[in-house]
Amino acid sequence: MNTRKTSFWALAAVLWPLLAPAAQMTHSNARPALALGVAADAQGALWIAGLDDHSRLFIQSTTDDGKTWQPRQVLNTGDDVVAADGESRPAMGFGPNGAVVISYTQPLSKPYTGNIRLLRSADGGHTFAPPVTVHDDRQLITHRFASLAFDGDGDLNIVWVDKRDATDKAYAGAALYGKVSYDGGATFEPDRKLADHSCECCRIALAAAPDGKLVALWRHVFDGSIRDHAFAPLSALGSQRKPTRATKDGWVLAACPHHGPGLAAASGGGYHAVWYGLREGVVAARYGRLGADGQPLGAVQALPDAGAEHADVAASGHHVAVVWRSYDGQQTRLRAWLSDDDGAHFTLRELAGSTADNDHPRLLRNGNTLQVVWRTLDDIQVYRLAP
């Protein structure tokens, strides 16, 4: 392999996802905060959480795939600044007994520092308690990129990127910490570490295992600064169990590419996964299968778009959807790769295009339906993909 060529593409892979959206800006010299969290409630309504034009956190719902929306509900976050850009976005979840939770990162005074804050409702989202800081550690360090979900028992799980253990330069990356609430976010168990040496700035993907418990997939720093992905059940929090290496691209990179993975349970067992990386000299977003233990299975496929970035995956029965955005030099295109046989075969589908600044596409399972949400500077679009 040509080392010089590999180094060039590794650098390009890091910079392009950050620079391309800025190159698309047509409406403003400052990047708007467009990042959304998405979730579905028990009645099938699709909800979004994001920032409005005044940088206020709002939630909003639709029951007809975005044709009409309920009025926005602006939430009281006190004096908090709320991060909602790129991989750092609000997260939203619906639990039992009317529990609704929204987490966000509150940026602090030093670069790359933050607190994970949580808003909690006990009445289905009509009212919310004031925001609280989730983690026990209160140092002025990184606590960012949180993901949350309720598991099959109705317990709230939240996991985030944390730098409390990075006390010297010898410590690679950050760590993943998390905690569990058994009462819808009113109280939490203590902070517990899931893994040392996570990547510093990539989103964490969560999915439900067959027993209803949650598993996580994240970009990890393996020995030699290899930025592949790791897999672990959230039940391993605090156990010091070594995570499974789930991807084997072998991307050596002394930086964070701001490009997290996606994960969804497969009907035939194991998981569907998507990720972004450098493999044998080629930068691409890729799809592959993981076993129940997170071990890679079978062939890995590059998505059918050389410019694909920020892919996500969801599944409902044998229906699998992978979505991504791709900038062609003139506009950003929203594309989907669809399968009705549990990922054995896929068909490419063009969904939309925009010359305006835009967010990463967000994909979710809503009941038995797969929906993708795409926010541009102009509007918020929803597409039903299957069944």
Give residue-wise pLDDT tens across range 302-323. Answer: 999 999 999 999 999 999 999 9
Give residue-wise pLDDT tens across range 169-221. Answer: 999 999 999 999 999 999 999 999 999 999 999 999 999 999 999 999 999 99
Would you say residue 11 has pLDDT above 90? Answer: no
- Residue 288 pairs in a beta bridge with 273
Residue 12 banded pLDDT, cuts 50, 70, 90: very low
Residue 75 banded pLDDT, cuts 50, 70, 90: very high
Distance in angstroms (rounded) separating the CA atoms of residues 378 and 354: 9
Give residue-wise pLDDT tens across range 348-376. Answer: 999 999 999 999 999 999 999 999 999 99
Would you say residue 301 has pLDDT above 80? Answer: yes
Question: Can you give the pLDDT at residue 256?
Answer: 85
Question: Can you give the pLDDT at residue 30?
Answer: 61
How is residue 183 annotated by DSSP? Answer: S
- Predicted TM-score (pTM) above 0.95: no
**pLDDT above 70: percentage of residues in the chain:** 92
Residue 32 banded pLDDT, cuts 50, 70, 90: confident
- Look at phi and psi of residue 355 and say left if phi exceeds 0, alpha if psi is from -120 to 50, else beta: alpha
Distance in angstroms (rounded) separating the CA atoms of residues 166 and 5: 32
Q: Report all structural domains of the chain as residue ranges with CATH numbers, in order of start.
A: 3-386 (2.120.10.10)
φ, ψ at 312 (rounded to 5°): -140, 160
Distance in angstroms (rounded) separating the CA atoms of residues 176 and 219: 11
Helix (H) and strand (E) counts for the chain? 1, 27
